[in-house]
Amino acid sequence: MPRATLLDPQGQAVEHALKALGFAEVERVRVGKHLVLDVEAATDAEAAARARAMCDRLLANPVTEDFDVAVRTA
């Protein structure tokens, strides 16, 4: 997700389109990426820790992006 303090032109474009369709309640839209990873791990906590390490290393750029990790057991 682009960092909250940075201009997100994609989010603005989507926000304008939603408002044009009558969704006046929309206050802000931000557009980011959603990556789905299948990970082998003993526990949810371990899977989350590994995913966070992947975000720190490659998947997110801390200068321009924030990230959240959610784990779902298969």
CB of 26 to other proteins, least distance (A): 19
Residues binding other proteins: what is the number (CB under 8 A)?
13
Query: Does 64 interact with other proteins (rule: CB under 8 A)?
Result: yes
CB of 9 to other proteins, least distance (A): 5
Query: Does 7 interact with other proteins (rule: CB under 8 A)?
Result: yes
SS (H, E, C) 17-62: HHHHCCCCCCCCCCCCCCCCCCCCCCCHHHHHHHHHHHHHHHHCCC
* Closest to other proteins by CB, 47 or 55: 55
> Could you give phi then psi for residue 73, rounded to 5 degrees?
-80, 135
